[in-house]
Structure 1
Amino acid sequence: MPAMKQTNGDARGTRPVRIANVSGGQMEPAYQMRKQATMGDIDFITGDWLAENNIAQEAAAMEAGKGEGFKPNAWQGLQLTMDVIAEKGIKVVINGGGLGPHNLARRCQELSDKHGYGLNVAYVSGDSIVHRVRSSLEENGKLPSTFQDISETEHTEVTFTAKEVLAATAYIGARAIVKGLENGADIIICGRVADASPVIGAAWWWYGWSDTDYDRLAGAFLAGHLIECSAYASGSNFSGFHRYPLETFVDNGFPIAEIEQDGACVITKHEGTGGMVSEDTVKCQMLYEIQGNVYLNSDVKAILDHVQIKQVGENRVRFSGIVGRPPPPTTKLAIFFLGGYEAQNLANFAGYSWRRKYKLYETQIRQRMAEQGLADKFDILAFQVIGSARPDPRYMFESTTYTRIFAQAKTPEPLSALKLLLADQTQQKPSGLHWAQDMRTADPKSFYVYYPCIMPQDEIEEAVHLLEKGGKVKKTIPVTRPPAYEEWSGKRDSYDTPNPVPLESFGPTKRIPLGDLIIGRSGDKGPNVNVGFFTDRPEVWEWLRNFLTLDRMKELIGKDWKEGYRIERVEFPTIYAVHYVVYWILGRGVSSSTLLDNRGKGFADYIRAKHVDVPEKFLQWAVADNEEFL
C-alpha cells in the first residue's frame, strides 16, 4: 500500500480536537482501538494501559527474559488498526510502551515500513529512573536525598534493598509528546506518563498553547482524566445503572473528548454504541481518583472548586470551569520491589450456624499452627469471612459464604506449610465445609510492593526520540522542564459544610438505602480510597452536605474503620457533590493489599447500601433496586 496523506492537521486549531480513548487498563481488547478509529471521525487515539501493579509485572517479566516491557494488548490494537490510522490521518499517543516504549515504537515503525503506510513513529524516555534508585540504595543504603517518602511508614513499615527493586518510574507530563508532534510524529509511544498526559499533549499541540496557558492546560488535564479510564465516562462502573434498562450497559461505547480552544470540552461517544454519556456518568468519573479539590500534574495544577457539568445534547456533556495554576516542583515517583510471597486459602461453609463454624475453623487452624511453630512465620495472616448467609434460604447459594485465609511471608516455605496443614485438617473440619475444585490460590506466589514517593521535576531527563525507516533513532530532542513552579504544601482542604443546619429541619424521615437517592464512585490511590457522592437535585444537595459529615463517614464505614485512619472531606457545590479521601484503608495498596476489594472499586456502593434516615419529601426522587437475584 502506498503512503497515505495525513489529513487531520488541515483543521488544526480551527475546531475542537476530537480525542478518542481506547483503553483504561492492561486487559483492554485490541478491537476497541479499531472501533474508535472506524466508527466516526476522530483526530487522535489515546490509551492508558498502565496501573501501578502492571509496571512491576513487566519489570519481573523482563528480568526473567519473558517480555519486552510493553503491553501486548496495545501492540495488538496497533497491528489491527494501523491501516485506518494511516488512511484517516489519525495521530496516536499511548502509554502502552510500559517499560519498553523503544521496543514498541520499533515494532510500529517496522509495521509501517512493511505496508508502506509512511507513518512517523517516536517514543518518549525519562520516566524510568530505576538505575538511579538502585545505585543510591547500593551506595548509601537509602533513596536520593531529594526524594520524599509519602508512604506513611508509621502505618506500613517498609524497607527494601537495591536487589529487591524491580522498577522506579516517575509520572511525567506532556512536554515530550508536544515536541514529538511538533516534529512530525504520527504515533508516539510513551511509558509512565501521567494518565492524562496523552490527552493534554494532543490538545496542547492542536492549539499551539503556551506552557503557561494554565487554565487551558488544566481543562485538557481534566478532559484526559474523564476519558482515560475508557468506558467509565460512558456507562461502565456507573453506580446509577439500576435507574435504566440493563440493555443500556451491555456493551458500552468508549468516550471521546472534544476539547475546545479555552480548555473546556464536550464528552461524547460514537453514534450507535451502547452505554450513555450523561451528567451522572461524567460526574462519577470526575470524582474518581482526584483526591480533593486540587489535582496535580507535572504540567499544571488544576483547581476544581468551580467545575461545571452540563448536558448539551444526547450523549453530549460539556465540562468546564477548571482553573489552572503552575505545577508543583515535584512529581510522583512509583517504586516497586519484591515483597515476598503470598497465598490465599478459600473454603466454603453452607447453612446453619455459619458464624460459629468459622470461629471453630479459625481456632483449629491457629492451634495447629502454634503446635508446628508456624504462628510467627508470617508477615500477614488474616482470617476473613466473605458474605453473609441469608436466613431461611431459598436455594443453597443463598446459604453459602466463604472464608479467606490470606497470608504473606518473606519466603514461600511458611505458605506451603500452611497449605499442608489445612489439608491435614480435612477430616476434622466443622460441618458443612467444602472446597472449590481449584486450589491453586493456596500455592505461594511472589507479590510486589508499591512504594510511593515524590521527586523534583528538575531531576528528570525527558526526551522524545524520532525513528527512521528500519526503526533506528534519527533524532533525539531533549525536553525542557516547566518554566515556573508553584509550591504546594501537601495539605489539602478538609471541612464539614459551613453554617450547617439541623437535619430535623428537613422534616420527617424514612429509612432507606442511601443508594436509592445518591450516586457515587470510588477508587484507589495506593493505600488510600477516594470516594464521591452526589445528587442532581439542589433540594437534596442541601440535605446531603449537612448529612454526610466527616463523623458520619466514619460511622458509615462501620467495623472497617480502624484507629489511625484519617479522612479528608471537600464539597463541590456546583455539581452537588461531597468528596472524601480515606487514608490507609487499603493497607499497602493494590499489589499487596490484604483486602478482597484491593482497588477500592466497591467502596462507594458499600456505603450506598447503608440504610439511613432520608427526608420523606425526597422520596419522590429515590429509585430503589427491588429486583430479586435470579
Structure 2
Amino acid sequence: MSDLKRPETVVDDRQCRILLTAVVLGDPGVHMYNQAKYGPVDVITGDYLAEANLANHAVEVKDSKGPGWVPTAWDGLQQTLDIAAEKGIKIVINGGAVNPKGLAEETHKLVKEKGLDLTVAYVDGDNVLHKAQHILEGIKSGALTHLDAQNESVHLAKGAVDFLDHPDTTPVVCANAYLGYRAIKAGLDQGADIVICGRVADASPVIAAAAWWHNWQESDLDQLAGALIGGHLIECSTYVTGANFSGAFRYPPETFVGLGLPIVEITSSGECVVTKHESLKGIVTPDTVKCQLLYELQGNIYLNSDVKADITHIKVKEEATNRVHVSNVKGYLPPPTTKLAVFYEGGYQCEMALNATGYATSHKWDIQEAQIRSKLDEWGITDQLDELDFQRVGVPMENPTSQLASTTYLRVFAQAKDPKILGRVGAAWHFYGMAHFAGMHCTLDMRTAIPKPFLGFYPAKIPQSELEEAVNIFSRDSVQHPKRTVVGPPKATEPLRDRDNYDPSSPASLSSFGETVNRPLGDIALGRSGDKGGNVNIGLYVQTDEEWKWFRSFMTRAKMQELMGRDWQDWYFIERVEMPEIRAVHFVVYGPLGRGVSSSKLLDGLGKGFAEFIRAVHIPIPKAFL
C-alpha cells in the first residue's frame, strides 16, 4: 500500500480537501501520466465507459477479438504506475468495462514485475448477463420498467421493445447495472491503491474517493451529492477546461490546442472547486463549468444509485483565475433501483452520402429519393425495412464563392433485420446510377453502404437488492483467491418521484423589455446538450439578472418546440425546469434519438450538436441586452 493515508483529523485546509482528477474514454494514456506528473493530486479517477462502447467490448469478448477492457485505460496504467507509487496517488477507474477482473490481473502482474508497493482490487456485480432470461421476462411483465416509464406522456421509439418477442434473432449481448461508490470505498478503506471497475456510474469513482478521504457515511447525503456533482463536472475529459464549449468563439483558436484535464477539489462539506494544473493548457471559468454542469442531465435531480443530488439552487462562482467554486447542492436518499443498460443485436444498418452542387439542390434531392423509393417499392423491399430515411445535410451558399461552399449532401440511412434485404437499398441506388441528377457526385469508397450489424439499447430499472456489488482485493503475492467484500444495497432508499416539469411562474411581459431585434439565440445564451438514452437534453443560460427575467419568461416548453422547427415530432415530449442561481433553463426532449446512440438514425446520434442548432435559430432579443 502507498504512503497516502486518509487524514484522521483536519489540521489545515490541504487536509480537508481531496484533489481528484479524471481521465476519460478516448484520452491517450499520457493524459493519466500528465495528471500525476504536473502537480499535486490525491486520486486519479477515470470514466472510460459510454453506453455504446460497453456493449462493443461485450461483442469483442463474444467474438474472441479482444480482452473486454478499454485499451487506453491499460495504456494509462502502464505509463502511470511508477509515478503513482512514488507520489502516493490512488487510481480508481471504470476502464475494466466487461472484464474488470482481467484488467486488474494484468495490472497486478505489472505491479509485481516493477516491484511497486501497490495493492490492486476490482469491483464486480454490475454484469448480470447471466440473468438475461430473467431480465427479458421482467421487462415483459413490467417488473423491470423502462427508465422513462414513470411518465405516461413519454412514448418509446418505434421498435424499442421488438427484441422482447425475438430473443433468438435479437439476443441480449450485455446487461450491466450502474453501480455506486460503496464497493470502491470498501476497497480503499481496506488499503487498495488501484481499483478497477466495470459499469459503475460515471461519477461513482469520485464519490468513493471523497467518501474514503473524508470518512463519510451513507447518511452524509449533502456531502455525497456534492461529490456526485463534482464527479459530473470532471467526468468528460477536457469538457470543463475548454472542450465542447459554446463560448469558445470568444477565444483565439490556439487556446484549444493541447488542453489539459481538470481537477476537482472536494471539501469535507461536499462543496468543490474546479481547477487544473497550472502548467497544462486550458481554461476553467464559470461559463465552462456551467456548460459542463448542464450536460446530459435529466432535469434538476441528478440520480446515482447512492444519492440523489438536487441542483435546483446550485451556485457557481469564480474564486480566482482557473478556480471556480461550486456549492449549494442538496442530497436526498437514493432510489431502490438503479439503471440497467441492456444491449441486444438489433439487426443491420447501412448508409450512403451523395453530393449535390448549386442550383435547384432541393429538386435534385427529390429526384434521388423518388428513384430509390420507386425501385424498392417495385421490388417489395420497403415494407421489410425497419428504417429508411433521406436526410438533407446543409444548405448551399447563395452566390457561392467556391464549389465546396455550394455543395451539400444527402444521407440515405436504412436498417433491417436481414442484411440481404438491406443490401437492396444500395442496389436500388446503383440501378439508377447513370440516371442521376445534374452534377451528382460522391466518394468512390462506398463501404458504408455494406450492411453492418448494430446494437439496440434498452434502459431499464433494476432493484439494487438484486445485485451483488463487491470489491475483490488481491494479496501482494497472488491474484488467486482475492479477499471479497460484498457491500449489499444502500441501507436506506426512497422511491423516485415524478420529475419536475413546469413553465415559468409569474412570467414577465416580454414587451416590457423594449424594442427587439432578430438575432441568433446564441448572441445572448450559452449552453450544452447531450444524449440520455433516446432523449436529448439541453441547458441554456444567460449572464445578468435582467436578462434572466426576460429569458426565463421567453424560454417556455412551447418556445423550445417552436425553435426545433421541422425536427419536432408530435410524439415527442418536453420537460422543463429552472436553475435560478446560475440563470439557466433546462429541457429534456424525449424521443429524438430513437433507441439511443448505438442505433439512432440521426447524424448527431449523441445530441451534442442540438444546443448549437438551437442557439443558431433567430429570436427577437431585446436591444438593451446586445
Alpha carbons of 1:194 and 1:5: their partners in 2 closer, same or farther (altered >3 Å)? closer
After TM superposition, list the pairs within 5 Å mapping 1:405-554 onto structure 2.
405-468=412-475, 469-489=477-497, 491-554=498-561
Range moving further from structure 2, 415-424 or 539-548: 415-424
User: In the TM superposition, what is the alpha-carbon distance from 1:144 to its structure 2 partner?
Assistant: 7.2
User: In the TM superposition, what is the alpha-carbon distance from 1:10 to its structure 2 partner?
Assistant: 5.9
Task: Tell me the residue number matched to 2:121.
Answer: 122
Q: SS at 1:581's partner residue?
A: strand
Partners of 1:498 and 1:533 in 2: CA distance: 18
Q: 1:214 aligns with which of 221, 246, 249?
A: 221
Alignment gaps of 5+ in structure 1: 620-630
TM value normalised by structure 2:
0.95
Q: SS at 1:148's partner residue?
A: coil
Could you give the per-residue CA deviations for residues 5-41 of structure 1, whole angstroms, max 9, x where no partner exists? 5235468863300001111x2x221111111110101
Residue pair 1:556, 1:607 contacting (<8 A) in 2 also: yes
Partners of 1:197 and 1:61 in 2: CA distance: 25
After TM superposition, list the pairs within 5 Å mapping 1:163-562 onto structure 2.
163=168, 164-468=171-475, 469-489=477-497, 491-562=498-569
Amino acid at match of 2:514: G
Task: Tell me the residue number matched to 2:73.
Answer: 74
Could you give the per-residue CA deviations for residues 523-579 of structure 1, whole angstroms, max 9, x where no partner exists? 000110110001121111111111111111111010000111110111101001000
Partners of 2:207 and 2:381 in 1: CA distance: 53
Task: Tell me the residue number matched to 2:594.
Answer: 587
Partners of 2:547 and 2:190 in 1: CA distance: 52
Task: Tell me the residue number matched to 2:144.
Answer: 147
Task: Tell me the residue number matched to 2:152.
Answer: none
Partners of 2:340 and 2:296 in 1: CA distance: 17
Residue pair 2:6, 2:212 contacting (<8 A) in 1 also: no
Alpha carbons of 1:136 and 1:11: their partners in 2 closer, same or farther (altered >3 Å)? closer
Residue pair 1:107, 1:471 contacting (<8 A) in 2 also: no
Residue pair 2:371, 2:429 contacting (<8 A) in 1 also: no
User: In the TM superposition, what is the alpha-carbon distance from 1:118 to its structure 2 partner?
Assistant: 1.9
Task: Tell me the residue number matched to 1:159.
Answer: 162
Could you give the per-residue CA deviations for residues 484-504 of structure 1, whole angstroms, max 9, x where no partner exists? 111112x21111111112110
Partners of 1:425 and 1:588 in 2: CA distance: 32
Residue pair 2:156, 2:591 contacting (<8 A) in 1 also: no
Residue pair 1:133, 1:143 contacting (<8 A) in 2 also: no
Partners of 1:60 and 1:85 in 2: CA distance: 33
Residue pair 1:8, 1:88 contacting (<8 A) in 2 also: no
Could you give the per-residue CA deviations for residues 425-461 of structure 1, whole angstroms, max 9, x where no partner exists? 2111111100113211111100001101001111111
Q: Is the counterpart of residue 563 in structure 1 residue 570 in structure 2?
A: yes
Q: Is the counterpart of residue 18 in structure 1 residue 22 in structure 2?
A: no
User: In the TM superposition, what is the alpha-carbon distance from 1:205 to its structure 2 partner?
Assistant: 0.3
Partners of 1:86 and 1:154 in 2: CA distance: 49
Task: Tell me the residue number matched to 2:103.
Answer: 104
Amino acid at match of 1:6: D
Residue pair 2:2, 2:118 contacting (<8 A) in 1 also: no
TM value normalised by structure 1:
0.95
Aligned residues with identical type, % of pairs: 48
Amino acid at match of 1:159: D
Task: Tell me the residue number matched to 2:614.
Answer: 607
Partners of 2:167 and 2:471 in 1: CA distance: 28
Task: Tell me the residue number matched to 1:628.
Answer: none
Range moving further from structure 2, 472-481 or 185-194: 472-481
Amino acid at match of 2:162: T
User: In the TM superposition, what is the alpha-carbon distance from 1:134 to its structure 2 partner?
Assistant: 2.9
Partners of 1:40 and 1:12 in 2: CA distance: 24
Residue pair 2:355, 2:410 contacting (<8 A) in 1 also: yes
User: In the TM superposition, what is the alpha-carbon distance from 1:73 to its structure 2 partner?
Assistant: 0.8
Task: Tell me the residue number matched to 2:579.
Answer: 572
Alpha carbons of 1:93 and 1:511: their partners in 2 closer, same or farther (altered >3 Å)? same
Could you give the per-residue CA deviations for residues 245-300 of structure 1, whole angstroms, max 9, x where no partner exists? 22212222111010000000000000122221000000001111121111111111
Could you give the per-residue CA deviations for residues 595-617 of structure 1, whole angstroms, max 9, x where no partner exists? 00011000001000011111111
The alignment of Structure 1 onto Structure 2 pairs a total of residues equal to: 611
Residue pair 2:456, 2:595 contacting (<8 A) in 1 also: yes
Alpha carbons of 1:611 and 1:385: their partners in 2 closer, same or farther (altered >3 Å)? same
Amino acid at match of 2:482: K
Task: Tell me the residue number matched to 1:625.
Answer: none
Range moving further from structure 2, 108-117 or 431-440: 431-440
Could you give the per-residue CA deviations for residues 161-187 of structure 1, whole angstroms, max 9, x where no partner exists? 555100000011000001000111000
Amino acid at match of 1:120: T
Range moving further from structure 2, 367-376 or 208-217: 367-376
Residue pair 1:134, 1:162 contacting (<8 A) in 2 also: no
